[in-house]
C-alpha cells in the first residue's frame, strides 16, 4: 500500500517542481530563451529583406551576441513566431517545448525503458547532467524538437523501418546539420539494403544544402561563416571533449608559463575521437555476435554516446540525448562495481576549499562534469558488453522471460 501511494505522490511532487521551473522561466522574458529571441529576430530581419547572418544587423535588434547559425530555409520557421508579439511568441515556444518534453518522456518509457522506467526516472530526467532539461528550456534552443525527431528515428530503426528512420534523422539535421551523423546507424543494421538507404539519405541531405546554395548563395555563405565562427567559442556552456582539451592546455600553459601551440589540442582531440570510435566499434562487433533482444537498442545507445564524446560543440543542453542511455545502464548494470564511482563522487569539493593549482583543476571538473559523467556511462557500456559472455546488459524485462 505504501509503495502504491508513494509512487504517484513522488510523481506529483516532481511534476509540481517541473511546473515551478516553467513558471519561473515564463515570468522572466528578458532573462531566458535568448536563443529563441535571436532566432525569432533573425526571421523578422529576413522578412524585411535584410541579411540575418550579418552580426551588425542582428545584434542591435535581438539585443544578444549570438549569431544565427542555421541554414537559410529555417528562417521561414522562425518567421512564424513574428506573426505575433514577442511575449506571446515567447510563451507559445515555451509551451510547445514543454509539451514535446512530456511526450518524449512518455515515448522513452514506452519504447525504450519499458519495465525499467519508474518514478525515479522522472527525477533523473530533471536533474541528470547538470539539469540538462532545465538548461534546454532556459536557452530556448530548437534542441528539444531535434531530440524528439531523433528519438522517433531511433524507434523506427529498432523496428527495422529504415525509410522512416532516414526521414526523421534528416528532419532532425535540417537545423544543425550534425545529427546527420546518426545515418551511420544504417551501416550497423542487418538490412541487406542498408548501403542503398545510406547513400540515398546522404544524397538527399547534400541536395538539401546544395539547393539552398544555388538559390540564396549570399545567405548560405553567411550561414557557413557563422557556423564556423561559433565552433571556436569557449566557456562552460560547451562541456565537450574538444573544449576540455583546450581548457586543459590553457591551464597547463598558465601554470608552466609556456605557450601551447593551437595545433596540439586539435591533434589530441582528433586522436581521442579516433580512439572513441574504434572502441565503440569493437563493442558493437561484440554485441553483433550475441543474440540479444535489445541489441539494436544498445547499438543506438552506443552511437549516441560516441556522438556526444566526439562532437566538438556538444553544449550543456544537448546532454538530453544521453538521459535514456545513462538510466538504462544504471538499471541494468551487472558486471561493474559502483564503489569506485561513488568514491570519486564523494571526494569532489568546491574550488574554494582547495589549493590554487587544485582549484584550477576542480573548476574544470565542475564545468565539464556532464562530459565526465558521459565518459563514465560510455565506459560502463564498453565494460558490460566485454564482460558479459552470453547476456550482456540485458534488460530486466528480458531476464523475466
Lowest mean pLDDT among 236-245, 271-280, 380-389: 380-389
Residue 317, exposed/middle/buried by CB under 10 A (0-12, 13-18, 19+)?
Answer: buried
> What integer pLDDT is reported at residue 377 of this predicted model?
87
Residue 1 in this model has a pLDDT that exceeds 60: no
Provide the Cα torsion 346, 349, 353, 358; round to 10°. 110
Q: Which residue has 531523433 as its cell numbers?
A: 150
Phi, psi (rounded to 5 degrees) for 108: -55, -45
| Average pLDDT of the residues in 218-222 | 95
pLDDT digits (tens, 9 = 90+) for 275-322: 999 999 999 999 888 777 788 999 999 999 999 999 999 998 999 999
CA nearest to 148, candidates 111, 122, 181, 120: 111
| Average pLDDT of the residues in 140-167 | 96
Task: Between 369 and 144, name the one with better pLDDT.
Answer: 144
Residues contacting 12, CB < 8 A, separation 6+: none
Instruction: Please measure the distance between the N-terminal and C-terminal CA atoms of the chain and give it in whole angstroms.
Output: 27
> What integer pLDDT is reported at residue 348 of this predicted model?
44
H helix runs in 257-392, sequence order = 263-288, 295-310, 323-332, 339-347, 356-367, 369-387
Neighbours of 356 (CB within 10 A): 8
Q: What are the residue boundaries of the structural domains of the chain, listed by start?
A: 233-401
- The C-alpha cell at 333 is 548494470
Neighbours of 198 (CB within 10 A): 18
- The C-alpha cell at 91 is 510563451
Q: What is the rounded CA–CA span in Å between residue 329 and residue 48?
A: 50
Round the average pLDDT of the chain to a whole number and report it.
85
Lowest mean pLDDT among 35-39, 159-163, 311-315, 369-373: 369-373
**pLDDT tier at 350, thresholds 50, 70, 90:** very low
**pLDDT tier at 257, thresholds 50, 70, 90:** confident
> What integer pLDDT is reported at residue 7 of this predicted model?
62
Q: What percent of the chain has pLDDT over 70?
A: 86
Q: What is the rounded CA–CA span in Å between residue 385 and residue 161?
A: 26
- The C-alpha cell at 41 is 529576430
> What integer pLDDT is reported at residue 194 of this predicted model?
94
* 3 state SS of 240: coil
Amino acid at each position: 500500500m505504501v509503495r502504491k501511494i508513494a509512487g504517484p505522490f513522488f510523481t506529483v511532487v516532481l511534476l509540481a517542481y517541473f511546473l515551478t521551473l516553467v513558471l519561473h522561466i515564463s515570468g522572466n522574458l528578458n532573462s531566458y530563451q535568448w536563443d529563441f529571441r535571436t532566432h525569432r529576430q533573425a526571421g523578422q530581419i529576413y522578412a524585411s529583406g535584410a541579411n540575418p547572418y550579418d552580426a551588425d544587423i542582428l545584434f542591435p535588434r535581438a539585443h544578444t551576441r549570438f549569431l544565427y547559425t542555421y541554414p537559410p530555409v529555417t528562417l521561414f520557421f522562425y518567421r512564424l513566431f513574428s506573426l505575433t508579439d514577442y511575449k506571446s511568441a515567447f510563451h507559445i515556444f515555451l509551451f510547445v517545448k514543454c509539451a514535446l518534453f512530456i511526450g518524449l518522456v512518455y515515448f522513452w518509457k514506452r519504447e525504450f525503458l519499458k519495465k525499467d522506467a519508474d518514478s525515479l526516472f522522472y527525477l533523473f530526467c530533471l536533474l541528470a547532467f547538470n539539469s540538462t532539461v532545465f538548461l534546454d528550456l532556459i536557452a530556448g534552443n530548437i534542441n528539444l524538437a531535434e531530440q524528439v525527431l531523433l528519438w522517433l528515428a531511433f524507434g523506427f530503426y529498432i523496428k527495422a523501418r529504415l525509410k522512416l528512420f532516414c526521414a526523421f534523422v534528416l528532419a532532425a539535421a535540417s537545423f544543425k546539420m550534425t545529427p546527420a551523423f546518426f545515418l551511420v546507424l544504417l551501416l550497423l543494421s542487418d538490412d541487406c539494403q542498408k548501403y542503398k538507404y545510406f547513400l540515398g539519405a546522404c544524397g538527399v541531405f547534400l541536395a538539401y544544402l546544395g539547393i539552398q546554395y544555388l538559390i540564396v548563395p549570399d545567405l548560405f555563405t553567411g550561414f557557413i561563416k557563422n557556423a564556423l565562427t561559433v565552433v571556436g567559442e569557449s566557456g562552460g556552456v560547451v562541456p565537450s571533449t574538444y573544449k576540455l582539451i583546450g581548457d586543459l592546455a590553457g591551464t597547463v600553459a598558465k601554470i608552466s608559463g609556456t605557450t601551447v601551440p593551437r595545433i596540439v589540442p586539435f591533434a589530441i582531440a582528433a586522436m581521442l575521437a579516433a580512439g572513441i570510435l574504434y572502441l565503440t566499434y569493437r563493442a558493437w562487433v561484440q554485441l553483433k555476435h550475441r543474440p540479444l533482444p535489445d541489441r539494436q537498442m544498445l547499438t543506438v545507445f552506443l552511437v549516441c554516446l560516441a556522438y556526444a564524446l566526439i562532437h566538438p560543440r556538444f553544449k550543456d543542453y544537448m546532454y538530453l540525448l544521453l538521459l535514456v542511455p545513462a538510466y538504462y545502464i544504471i538499471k541494468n548494470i551487472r558486471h561493474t562495481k559502483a564503489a569506485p564511482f561513488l568514491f570519486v563522487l564523494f571526494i569532489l569539493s568546491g574550488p574554494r576549499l582547495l589549493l590554487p593549482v587544485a582549484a584550477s583543476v576542480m573548476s574544470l571538473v565542475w564545468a565539464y562534469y556532464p562530459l565526465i559523467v558521459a565518459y563514465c556511462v560510455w565506459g560502463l557500456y564498453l565494460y558490460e558488453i566485454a564482460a558479459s559472455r552470453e547476456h550482456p546488459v540485458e534488460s530486466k524485462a528480458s531476464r523475466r522471460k
